Amino acid sequence: MAMMFEAVYENGVLRPIESLTLINRQHVFVTIASPAEDDVAGYFEPEEWEAAKHDDVSLQEVRWALSSISGSLADAVIALREER
C-alpha cells in the first residue's frame, strides 16, 4: 500500500495533518520531500536570478507574453526545460 500525506515536524516527531489509516505501532517507510515552492531555486542558474532582480516588466507585457501560449502554461514550461 502506498499513500501520500502532508505532515509537520514538531519536537522531533512527524505529525500528519490528517488522520492515517494505520494500525498502532505499524512500521512504514517514509520519504521526505519539501513542498514545491522550496524547489524553485534549482530551476534557474544564479546568474538568471541576479538578472531577474533588475527586470522591470509591466503587467501588460506579462499578459501579452502569456497570450501567445497555446494550451497549458505548465506544458509550455516543461517543454522549455526539456530544451535546455
- H/E stretch holding 26: none
Domain presence at residue 2? no
Give me the tens of pLDDT residue by residue for the chain, a chain 84 residues long: 778 888 999 999 999 999 998 999 999 998 887 766 556 667 788 888 888 888 888 889 988 888 888 888 888 888 888 887
**In angstroms, rounded to a whole number, what is the distance separating the alpha carbons of residues 79 and 76?**
5
Residues shown for the chain: 84
What pLDDT score was predicted for residue 46?
Answer: 83
Domain assignment present for 1: no
Alpha helices in 7-72 (DSSP H): 36-39, 46-52, 59-67
Task: Report yes or no: 1 and 21 within 8 Å, Cβ to Cβ.
Answer: no
Question: Model pTM greater than 0.75?
Answer: no
Cβ atoms of 28 and 22 within 8 Å: the answer is yes
Domain count, the chain: 1
Q: What is the pLDDT of residue 12?
A: 92
* Domain that includes residue 32, residue range: 7-83
Nearest-angstrom CA–CA distance, 48 and 52? 6
Instruction: Examine residue 38 and state whether it is found in any structural domain, yes or no.
Output: yes
Residue with cell 517507510: 29
